[in-house]
Chain A
């Protein structure tokens, strides 16, 4: 028991070590939130390109631009899903951003970009599955009224698709939140790195690692709760 107390003391109180957790949590949250936004934007765009191509009318010419975009989207999704996230992060920082000074701001930007691009590939496939699940009569009804493909997509198809895939998107967001812990490999001081630093300073392992495990768990539980609320709100149009 005394050793546990010592562990608590050294992990949180000594040298104001709790600051590592607070600052680290901040970094983890910033990277997660902005990577998630970037991933969503990329994902929706890619999903629309992919499904526009897949739902092209037989007999109608597909524009060259759409062909190129679709090919690009396919390559992008294949490469990103086919390589480890950590490798992508290492390449992003040590190759693409090789000339950048290693300030915290730069590291955070690099991490956001890397995770955003990574998440985008998964989100694209999730959203695409949502778009494909919408009855094609919805698109036909929109088009028959004279609405353009884009307007129908934006006002009718995407909102319904989004609602249908919200659980899967939530999954992706949770994975993203936890996966940001690998930013330690480029030296960004996130929550996990904070625990590692404390271990290095104090030789305590039990308390710091269990502490961050609990922090991650609580964040994920909060996220699940928020997603559940959002899902119920979006289900309003399903009530009978």
Chain B
């Protein structure tokens, strides 16, 4: 579904990603773990070109999204993204947050979008918040709305950039619960997270990244229970 070839990214001469190649197949739930500054968020953000790679190629199906000729907006419509800081549109009501993109991009009429928004808000457990504004919601509620907003576009794949890192501890569960349901429904997911429990339970594959490289990868059992690399072991000993 996504294939990454020799991806490198540097900020002002500092290398953040070193020559990464990786393939993600449909239906996979890939969880990326690693210490902060390891490049995992940058890697994720490259997948929908929020960060422009310094070199290397990324293909989404057969489309080279790193090519300047590609209409990146068309690709992003098929790739949902959920951010650490929710990034709900502060000037719009919850319903408008959900309906803006599908209506503007002419995927749905206003009425269709309205119905779909209510359906998705129901699904994330916030049917009564359609008319509220983001500032009135708790962190957990915001993130559930953000997931619903991404789902409005009926994406083929979803990217999660530390979706629970900015949440109070008691709100982490409600967000992870929705992500698990998504996973069970067969959504292809790439998740950057520090929630090792979630990774173990949901991931079909775990990538451990450090200093811009994928150090080790495998099933959750392989990575968590039998890590091969020294750096993986030392990281896991600190977080588990």
Contacts and interface: CB of A to CB of B under 8 A. Distances in A.
Interface string B133-160: 1111000000000100110010000000
Interface string A123-152: 000000000000101101111111110010
B12 to A, nearest CB: 8
Given A59-B54, A144-B50, A146-B77, A138 B90 contact: yes
B83 A137 contact: yes
A145 B76 contact: yes
A239 B135 contact: yes
A103 interface: no
Interface string A46-82: 0000000000011111000000000000000000000
Contact of B90 (A145, A237, A240): A237
A159 interface: yes
Nearest to B105: A146
A156 interface: yes
B87 A140 contact: yes
Best-buried of A145, A151, A238 by chain B (most CB within 10 Å): A145
A140 to B, nearest CB: 6
Contact of B133 (A137, A142, A155, A239): A239
Interface string A95-139: 000000000000000000000000000000000000000010110
B28 to A, nearest CB: 20
Contacts of B73: 143, 146-148
Contact of A137 (B48, B87, B135, B150): B87
A163 B136 contact: no
B92 A237 contact: yes
A216 to B, nearest CB: 34
Interface string A141-179: 111111110010001100110010000000000000000
Contacts of A145: 76-77, 81, 100-101, 105, 149-150, 153
B52 interface: yes
Contacts of B136: 239-240
B42 to A, nearest CB: 12
Best-buried of A144, A147, A159 by chain B (most CB within 10 Å): A144
A1 B203 CA distance: 91
Contacts of A137: 83, 85-87
Contacts of B135: 237-240
Given A144-B81, A146-B73, A146-B77, A138 B89 contact: yes
B9 to A, nearest CB: 8
B162 to A, nearest CB: 13
Best-buried of A60, A135, A137, A160 by chain B (most CB within 10 Å): A137
B52 A156 contact: no
Nearest to A158: B91
Contact of B76 (A61, A144, A156): A144
Interface in B97-128: 100-101, 104-105
B133 A163 contact: no
26 contacts: A57-B52, A58-B52, A135-B85, A135-B87, A141-B83, A141-B87, A141-B146, A142-B89, A143-B73, A144-B81, A144-B83, A145-B81, A146-B76, A146-B101, A147-B73, A147-B100, A148-B73, A151-B104, A155-B92, A156-B89, A156-B91, A156-B92, A159-B91, A163-B91, A237-B92, A237-B133
Interface of B: 11-12, 48, 50, 52-54, 68, 73-77, 79-81, 83, 85-93, 100-101, 104-105, 133-136, 146, 149-150, 153
Given A156-B92, A237-B90, A237-B91, 14 more contacts: A57-B52, A59-B54, A60-B52, A61-B68, A137-B85, A138-B90, A140-B50, A144-B80, A144-B81, A159-B91, A160-B91, A238-B133, A239-B135, A239-B136
